[in-house]
Amino acid sequence: MREVQPARRADPAEYLRPDGLGPRLDPVPARNAALALGAAALLALVSLARDRAWWPFRPRPARAFADAARRLAALGRGPESEQGYREGLLALHRGLDAKAGYRLLADDLDAFLARHPAYRPQRDGLARFFAASRLAFFGGSVAEARHRLPLAEAGATARALAVAERAA
């Protein structure tokens, strides 16, 4: 480096000055700040993805039969009563209704199975369920319905439907 108006000297090398020493900077604080800001940005992106239901926070499709199976399992752990049996049948009815998209009746079972072939292996269990449901809710004989389709068997049907639902 040279001065703008240096004093005259005989040797031009005398015009040069030695390089100055700059302050030595510690990179650790800048690195830590960059990592903290990056983590904050990532957290903000994850929060935005969850709020907007972007992947991987997309809502999973409802699993109606899994809900019914859980409800029937909970009812099966308690003491058996007519009210508990009716609640179990109603839980399976609500699962079928949710999967069909409308109130599913016994007469609609074949059409339902035609639209949802994954559940065809459970046709006999569903037919027994509808027969027991008809007895319990409209026939006035919950005891007879419980004899034809025990709550444990209705739970097994719901679990088999839940497995088919997960695979479909």
Q: pTM score, two decimals?
A: 0.65
> 164 and 121 in contact (C-beta within 8 Å)?
yes
Dist. CA 68–CA 90, nearest whole Å = 9
Residues 6 or more apart whose CB falls under 8 angstroms from that of 162 comprise: 63, 65, 66, 68, 69
- Residue-wise pLDDT tens for the chain (168 aa)? 556 776 777 777 776 777 778 888 899 999 999 999 999 999 999 999 988 888 888 777 778 999 999 999 999 888 888 899 999 999 999 999 999 999 999 999 999 999 999 999 999 999 999 999 999 999 888 899 999 999 999 999 999 999 999 887
Closest of 87, 51, 50, 46 to residue 70, by C-alpha: 87
Q: Is 37 exposed, middle or buried (0-12, 13-18, 19+ CB in 10 A)?
A: exposed
